[in-house]
Structure 1
Amino acid sequence: MTANTIIAADTRINARWLIPIEPFGAVLDHQAVILQGSRITAVLPQADADQKFRTRETIDLPNHVVLPGLINLHGHTAMSLFRGMADDLPLMTWLNEHIWPAEGRFVCEQFVQDGSRLAMAEMLRTGTTTFSDMYFFPEATAQAAHDTGMRAQVCFPLMDMPTMWGSGPDEYLAKGADLIAQWRGDDFIMPAIGPHAPYTVSDGPLTAAVALSEQTDAAIQIHLHETAFEVEEALKLTGKRPTERMADLGVLGTNSQYVHMTQLNEVDLDLLAKTGGHIVHCPESNLKLASGLCPVQTLIDHGLNVTIGTDGAASNNDLDLFGELKTAAMLAKAVAGDATSLSAHKALEMATLNGARALGRDQELGSLVAGKLADLIAVDLSDPFIQPVYDPASHLVYSNHGRAVSHSWIHGVPQLQDGRLTRIDVPDLMLRVRDWQRHILS
């Protein structure tokens, strides 16, 4: 390129601050992000962009910080329609006496379509551009996400008992194999395998899930070591801790994601460090259900990739990943007894690049680097509750709320413009939500 060459591109985003995630800890002033199609063409100072690029559209964000879109690595999206329905209860009471009976009565394909759209509206509004789902009727969630243009890892459910989605493990695995075949290689939908938990899936189906993962390269996501009761019962029934049983069955591995992980000892840590895999920390759900505290800094110190998820809105009760980051960062300090644990930059990395690593897409997602996919967000820092701005990274984690997100792009396509969703018909969605509320109350 000669000194006088001007490059044409689609969109230029001028940001007061930019946090690219790579390199780690960087906060850049007065940067321009150049988008061409679905990709980031360049990230450079605005003065340099003036000399090198001409774009069809320029978006000036003089009070904003721009960063990669957030990745919510665990949730049950359709359960947004159960938000606030059964609060202030321990996990097993919540599941056995409230959630599972309600699912048996109300969950169907239409419930999942509408509940997923409600969840996606909230996630897009608060900065999430990629999410992971584990729920019934995964075909409906995958289609809803694809139609909206949102990236999603969609884990089909696997458990021993019959549900509204199937008669048992054989049917779940057959339907799941079809889901993987349908969406494999798609830019937006990443089909995956979702065995519910060690206490709901026996050895045979778990072994079959591992075989399916090896055949298709689909990831496995499982709730693991969520409560002390789970670990105690496993020891009584099998003589092994859940991680030991999962290791024996081949579930632990570099293509697996372990959700919650609040009850860990040195045996667990050594197994995890040896076999690899990814931890999905869900701090607010763990706190609300009194499940336990995940030792995040210890896991990081053991070389494990720690990501973050909200869990479902029925146990959180929101899907605002920025709020989750604040809770995670402060909780990590208390658990470790060290105020330097899980810094603001490390927390942001957990919700971006670490999530991309768990999905096997860190070469495409998770940081603002030329050549990567154009999934990014802008957060308005002009509001009084964020001012004055000394350190944008610190403000994003400790002072911010997801509602300060003003813009987002996925695959280069605007999803949020000045706080307004572009791909979801919110009034129509709210009518559907109110219909479900009346139906559930009746």
Structure 2
Amino acid sequence: MKKITCLHPTWLIPVEPRACVLTQHALVICDDKINALLPSAQAYQDYPDAEHIVLAQQALLPGFVNLHAHSAMCLLRGLADDLNLMDWLTQHIWPAEKQHVSDEFVFDGSLQAMAEMLRGGTTTVNDMYFYDQAVARAGIASGMRTVVGCSVLDFPTAYADNADGYLAKAVAAHSAFAGQSGVSFKLAPHAPYTVGDESFKKVVALADKLAIGIHCHIHETADEVATSLQQYGMRPLERLHQLGLLSPQLIAAHMVHANDADLALLSQTGVHIAHNPASNLKLASGFARVHAMQALGINVGIGTDGSASNNKLDLLGDLRMAALLAKAESGNATALSAAVALEMATLAGAKALGMGDQIGSLVVGKQADLIAIDLSALETQPVYDPISQIVYAAGREQVSHVWVNGRCLMRERQLLTMEMGALLDKAAWWQTRIASQ
């Protein structure tokens, strides 16, 4: 017997077509997929035995896709703030990770991060960290759709000794979770300044063999570009192009420092961009040329980065920031409209992950990854345009319901797959352990 649920929001925002808002409409979930979008009155008539849920003064839309995150780093939130990127990494984050990161750390931190993301309307995360199998287990436990980015570096950590070691662990994780619903994998070479040419070549070869994509920090800082010019005689993007990385299978995180030639190369090769506005601001990395990218047809999604450099996994807040920054950076108040920002946080992220035919918009046949946002609060009244209100005025605390694969993971702000008290206890335990050393 198939389970049928009919959701009746005040506003139904399918994302496809762009800027469309349906009123007096229902969305029908059949098991894990979207079965129909139709007038509410017809839904009651056609599905009399279904569970009917009325979402008064709420908008129903696709779940957010966090295109770049280091989930487990939420356990390092606030540990080292107000520093530039390389000081933050080399003097604080990498030493803390060397001392504390383990399978247990990554599972506990990822689970906490996934709870935070679900409470903010994120239903899919494209992660990048260590202990790949721990991230996958956390995704399964939480119910969040999880893309596990298997980190690769040329220097040792507690997880592996060298690039070959990281790649071997990636293969093992990919094999261990083969066929697991809701979990997939990418190779995640950290950055051009931490991965050498031979290791990048191995990444490309393995990604082709496993038929999985690649996720990498690229052009995050001006120093990264300057160092590459000194060391290789070319910008990082050009070097990666020569090594065979640039293709629609690559997600380039940050891409803050991109000149016209870089943008042309990105457009030509079909690379996707994970824009991280909050992290870019906090680490003083700069202002990505998002409006120029989109004008060239480059697909740009939104990421939070890790909560050690954000400091929250709030995609709704970050999509507002992305819209505002694009206007200021381009000097064009019409740049990155609310509807385009919402598309970046949903369908654009899904396309970057190769999941555009599965999630990212409310289309019949797609997986039922949905969220409801309550706009009844004083802070989001009156509602002239619900899309504009979501992007520019709503807060993540107004996300009321979350479904992934048709399964309700949060109802009326209450998580259904994780126990809040246990998450808080784990966070406190890790704080005590890390602060005492």
TM-score normalised by length of structure 1: 0.97
Tell me whether 1:58 sits opposite 2:40 in the alignment. Answer: no
Distance 2:173 2:241 in 1: 26
Q: Does 1:353 align with 2:347?
A: yes
Match for residue 334 of structure 1?
Answer: 328
> Which residue identity does 2:327 align to in structure 1?
K
2:213 aligned residue (197, 219, 222): 219
Which of the residues 152, 155, 158 maps onto 1:161? 155
The yes-or-no answer on 1:147 pairing with 2:141 is yes
Q: C-alpha displacement at 1:102, in angstroms? A: 0.6
Partner of 1:23: 17
The C-alpha deviation readout for 1:382-408, integer Å capped at 9, x for no partner, is 111111111100011000111100001
Question: Once the two structures are aligned, what percentage of the paired residues are identical?
Answer: 48
Q: What is the 5 A alignment of 1:52-201? A: 52-201=46-195
Contact 1:159 1:195 in 2 (8 A): yes
Pairing of 1:354-373 with structure 2 (within 5 A): 354-373=348-367
Instruction: Give the one of 430, 437, 440 matched to 2:424.
Output: 430
Counterpart pick for 1:273 among 253, 267, 272: 267
Pair 1:231 & 2:231 matched: no
Compared CA separation, residues 354 and 142, structure 1 to 2 (3 A) = same
TM-score normalised per structure 2? 0.98
Q: Select 2:253's aligned residue among 259, 279, 288.
A: 259
SS at match of 2:112: helix
Choose which of 259, 279, 287 in structure 2 pairs with 1:285.
Answer: 279
1:49 to 7, 29, 43: 43
The answer to whether the 8 A contact 1:11-1:55 is kept is: no
Report the 3-state secondary structure (helix = DSSP H, G, I; strand = E; otherwise coil) of the residue aligned with 1:88: coil
Q: C-alpha separation between the residues in 2 aligned to 1:187 and 1:42?
A: 23
- Worse overlay, 264-273 or 341-350: 264-273
Count the aligned residue pairs: 436
Matched, 1:388 2:365: no
Contact 1:308/1:350 (<8 A) preserved:
yes
Aligned residue identity for 2:156: P
Cα deviations across residues 178-227 of structure 1 (Å, max 9, x unaligned)?
A: 22223344331111100000000000110000001111111100000000
Instruction: Provide the secondary structure at the position in 1 that maps to 2:308.
Output: coil
What secondary structure, in the 3-state scheme, does the structure 2 residue paired with 1:187 have? coil
TM-fit CA distance, 1:263: 0.4
SS of residue paired to 2:384: coil
Alpha-carbon contact 1:8-1:53 (below 8 Å) kept? no
**What RMSD in Å do the two structures reach over aligned CA positions?**
1.1
Match of 1:4 in 2: none
Distance 1:274 1:153 in 2: 26
**CA–CA distance in 1 between the matches of 2:16 and 2:244?**
33
Give 1:8 deviation, angstroms. Answer: 7.9
